[in-house]
Amino acid sequence: EAQVTQNPRYLITVTGKKLTVTCSQNMNHEYMSWYRQDPGLGLRQIYYSMNVEVTDKGDVPEGYKVSRKEKRNFPLILESPSPNQTSLYFCASSARGTGLEAFFGQGTRLTVV
Amino acid sequence: AQSVAQPEDQVNVAEGNPLTVKCTYSVSGNPYLFWYVQYPNRGLQFLLKYITGDNLVKGSYGFEAEFNKSQTSFHLKKPSALVSDSALYFCAVSDYKLSFGAGTTVTVRA
């Protein structure tokens, strides 16, 4: 089954404690991205990757890092989480090219206290 | 810069009535437009897209969308809504990346 898998689904952490949210896709997609969803703001892109070892900032990259060492994996790293990073996070992947729909993971609800 | 606007935060309809969720867009060049739906505690699911061609696009679960270039709109429609259509709907435009609207919560009452 084609899917994007995120882990964990839920996470509560404390300010400043480094964390990683993993994302893996099994569709051999070149393009992967991370979004955060906040009420009234829709989804905002954090980082994206066009292919292995190619990453770039989205609209709200501050406080986040990513890496793309393998085509299937695109982890999101919060080096020093802060309460304003409390949000619902989605990973997505799509094949190369415009006009192609994205496939989304089920989301990670992060709470930073 | 590309953007989409969903002017209604909420849409409430009775089951069996027509459902419309509005979206307007701004993009330079040809627009690639999408609708996604998010059910509670789930990720986003693709509903339909407009790339080129017929202005009326048909998608999943009986939904369709009408592309109107002169009004820069891409409204989502369903002729007869179901209670199970209650969800959060997002319009999106794609140039080299997807840009989402703020979302519209649809509630269909029995």
Which pLDDT score is estimated for B2? Answer: 83
Please judge whether A104 and B43 are an interchain contact, meaning their C-beta atoms are less than 8 angstroms apart. yes
- Lowest-confidence pick of A16-30, A92-106, B7-21, B82-96: A92-106
Which pLDDT score is estimated for A98? Answer: 65
Q: b vs e for A17-48, b when ≥16 Cβ sit within 10 Å of the residue's Cβ? A: eebebebbbeeebebbbbbbbeeeebbbbbbb
d(CA B6, CA B57): 19
User: Which tens digit of pLDDT belongs to each residue from A48-82?
Assistant: 999 999 999 999 999 999 999 999 999 999 999 99
- Neighbouring residues of A105: CB distance < 8 A, sequence distance ≥ 6: A3, A4, A5, A6, A23, A90, A91, A92, B43
Please judge whether A98 and B96 are an interchain contact, meaning their C-beta atoms are less than 8 angstroms apart. yes
Q: Report the pLDDT averaged over residues A15-19.
A: 97
Instruction: Compute the half-sphere exposure of residue B97: CA atoms within 13 Å on the CB side of its CA.
Output: 23
* Domains, chain B: 3-109 (2.60.40.10)
Q: Report the pLDDT averaged over residues A3-17.
A: 97
Which pLDDT score is estimated for A43? Answer: 92
Residues of B whose CB is below 8 A from A107:
41-43
Which pLDDT score is estimated for B52? Answer: 84
Strands, DSSP E only, in A4-78? 4-7, 10-13, 19-25, 31-38, 42-51, 54-57, 65-66, 76-78
Q: Report the pLDDT averaged over residues A25-36.
A: 95
Please judge whether B97 and A104 are an interchain contact, meaning their C-beta atoms are less than 8 angstroms apart. no
Which pLDDT score is estimated for B98? Answer: 83
Average pLDDT, whole number, for chain B?
A: 93
Which pLDDT score is estimated for B21? Answer: 98
pLDDT band at B31 (very low <50, low <70, confident <90, very high): confident
Residues of B whose CB is below 8 A from A21:
none
Residues of B whose CB is below 8 A from A101:
34, 46, 49
Q: Which residue of A lies nearest to B35 if distances are taken between CA atoms?
A: A101
Q: Report the pLDDT averaged over residues B37-65.
A: 92
